[in-house]
Structure formats: C-alpha cells, structure tokens
Chains A and B, each alone.
Chain A
C-alpha cells in the first residue's frame, strides 16, 4: 500500500477514537430524570426539585423530578434498575437506604448502585416543649433511669433513623424506653406540642418555626459540633453521649453507568451545590453541609448496613 493510504487509515482511526470520546462528552444530550422515592412536598422531594433546577442551569438540559413512591424506595429502585445504565435516570437516596437494605425486605443491595454525592444532611435532635422540667440530656437520662422509662418519646417511623438514635442513647445512657412511631416528623411535633409526648426525636426541619420561637427546646443534637443554625443546642457528644449521626440525602445511579458519565454528573452536582441559590436553600431549611465523595459514601452505606442489622435484631424486627 502507498503512504497516502496508510495516512488515510490513521486519520480515520484517529477520527473514530475521538468520535467515541465526543459521544461520551456530550452527556447530557437529552432530558435527565431524577426519580424520587418520596411524595411531592416531602423534604427529600424538595431537595430533589431544588437540585434539579440548579443542575438544569449547569448543564442546560431539562432536569425533572419524578415521584415514584412505594416499598420504602423499592418501587423507585426497581424502576431505575429497569432503565439503561446511561446516567439519564438518577435516583434519590438517603441514609435510610441502609435501614431498608438491612431489613432485607427489598430485593436490592447497596452494591447494585453507585453513590454519587450526598448533597445535604440533617442531624437528629431530642426536643422537648419549652415548659418541660428537663434542661439537659443528663436530666432526660436520669429521669428515664429513675422512673424506669416512663417518659413518652416518639418520632418519625418505626425502625428508622430516629429510633436508631434513641436506641444508641439508651445504650449509652443505660436505660430502656419505648418508642412511639409516627407517620411523619410533623405529626410527632404536633403530638409533642399537644402534650401527648414528653420528648420527640426529630430532624430540626420538622419544627423550625417552633424552635425559632422557643416553643420547642433542643436538649441534644447529633452533630459533631454545635450547628451554626442552632447555636443554643448542645451536641450530644459534648454532653458525654457520643452520638454523631446524620440523615443525609443525595443521588445515586444504577451500577454499570460509565465512569465518564459519572464524573460529569458529579462535577455538575458539585457546581450546583456551590451556587448561590442552593446555599440559600440550605440556609432557609437549616441543612448541614456534607462532603462525602462517591466511594466514601458507598463504603459508609455498606458499613451502616451491618450496624443497622444489629439494631434491628435488638428491637426484634429481624432474626
């Protein structure tokens, strides 16, 4: 063959390689959907929608949120798994994933997904009414011990994040108590305000209005250090109860999504959350910043699963 033909072959070859890369680099080239496993209006949904709006600004493609409620997330997960792993279907995820997987009731494992980012988090807080005689976490623990657990405590969900926090408190404080589960954080707060509960374990966003007005006091909050949003709320750790837990919320994709796409998505998320609008949202809802990177998040979730399993066994939910 002549030199010119070789040249042509090389040029065509190079062309094909770059074309391949060019295809990956054009993600996203159509609508991106974020599938949310909670109902419209819930905290996770609002985060998803706000994030979607910001992502749309970053990459210029329509980004919408689809609510697919059911099965503690299984319905949304099943849907995401039924779609191609091309990065156009993102799935919301929260730290409750580890609970659901630990319960063993859904046909998925953490390893079926690739965690992208956690974009915000909330701590758990032990809250009482302003007229309560309890002033510190020690007061609470002492009262529970001396009255053998007679204080009425409750919060959102059974065998979930807040009951887990309570469980840890019981272990560290050396007392045992009953957990009264409610269908929503708001309901637990309403029960607390109405005098039906003595204390509630909630994410602060369930009672922002009351915390600000002082109708509700936080005895202990599960952040590592005092939260800038609730400076009067002592952390559980500083009071001697080493409980540092966050309910984080973020995104994940189906396993098998190409690395280049994942990198693009992660970069876009990072850009979106550093923007003004997002920062304002976090401030408005008193959401804490988190900075878990992809692999770290995956590892953390997998570790959490075994921790949750021990908890679930103790409360008699699984064998």
Chain B
C-alpha cells in the first residue's frame, strides 16, 4: 500500500481535530469532573501528534517507493481486486441479512455464495459444507449452550 502510512496519518490527524472540535462545542464537565476532560484532550492530542508523525514517515516512504517499479497495473491483479471487494461486499450483505432474517437462513445461503465467488470448489461440495456448518452451529451453540443467536 503505497499511500498507506500517509493516508492513515492524515486520517488520524483529521479525526483528532474533528473530535476536539466536537468537545469544544459541548461544555459538559465542571469542577470535580474536569479531570476526564483533561484526559480526553491528552488522548486526542496524542492521536493528532502521531497523525502528523505518520504523515511525515508516510511521505518519506512514498519518496522511496517512487523509484520502485510499477506493481498495480497488470490485469490479473485487477481481477483479484474485483473478486476481493466483491467478497467484502458480500460480507456486508451477510451482516445485513443476519440482523433482519436471523442466523440460519442467511448463513446457509451465504456460505454457498462465498464459495462461488471464491471459485475454488464445486457447488455441491459448497452446499454440503454450508449445511454441515449450520447444523453444527445449531447443535452446539443453540441447543447445548443456549448462546443467543441473531
């Protein structure tokens, strides 16, 4: 990740400034309660300070990397990246359906979809694994332990 450190540095600094900003407009604490406020400023300040430091070292890294060969542009990497973000998107969708529909149905379907997207095993195998997984979770988590499930 070329811009990684730099990006994170910027994010830290921005976050720290933003949060300090919200504090200023919300005078909540007085007297005995002043100490937590002080702590908040210290922590946020640290975040901002490190944000700046990281930006600095990220910039240095970038200068170094500029002399390295290109790595991003070959088509195979593009394909991999598309599938990867597709996977992440699927994860988000999975989480969404978990909250609305419950656990078992989405899990069974999503394991199938996951395997298809990742394209390594046959559909039949994927279906079997999904079912086994759901069954296992049902037996162990729900019946035996009584762990609350969505």
Contact = CB atoms under 8 A, between A and B. Distances in A.
Interface of A: 66, 178, 315-317
A316 B148 contact: no
Nearest to B29: A316
A287 B13 CA distance: 53
9 contacts: A66-B148, A178-B32, A315-B32, A316-B29, A316-B30, A316-B31, A316-B32, A316-B33, A317-B33
- 9 pairs of A and B residues whose beta carbons are closest in the complex: A316-B30, A316-B31, A316-B33, A178-B32, A316-B32, A66-B148, A317-B33, A315-B32, A316-B29
A129 B29 CA distance: 33
Interface of B: 29-33, 148
Nearest to B30: A316
A35 to B, nearest CB: 11
A102 to B, nearest CB: 16
Contacts of B148: 66
Nearest to A316: B30
Contacts of B30: 316
Contacts of B31: 316
A315 B31 CA distance: 9
Contacts of A315: 32
A315 B30 CA distance: 9
A163 B33 CA distance: 15
A37 to B, nearest CB: 15
A316 B30 CA distance: 7
B144 to A, nearest CB: 15
A317 B31 CA distance: 10
A237 B30 CA distance: 33
B84 to A, nearest CB: 34
Nearest to A178: B32
B30 to A, nearest CB: 5
Nearest to B148: A66
A162 to B, nearest CB: 16
B76 to A, nearest CB: 46
Contacts of B33: 316-317
A316 B36 CA distance: 14
A178 B32 CA distance: 8
A66 B148 CA distance: 9
Given A316-B31, A316-B32, A316-B33, 6 more contacts: A66-B148, A178-B32, A315-B32, A316-B29, A316-B30, A317-B33
Most chain A CB within 10 A, of B31, B32, B148, is at B32
A25 to B, nearest CB: 30
B39 to A, nearest CB: 15
A66 to B, nearest CB: 7
B29 to A, nearest CB: 8
Contacts of A317: 33
A266 to B, nearest CB: 28
Nearest to A64: B146
Nearest to A67: B148
Contacts of B32: 178, 315-316
B44 to A, nearest CB: 22
Nearest to B34: A316
A212 to B, nearest CB: 35
Nearest to A319: B28
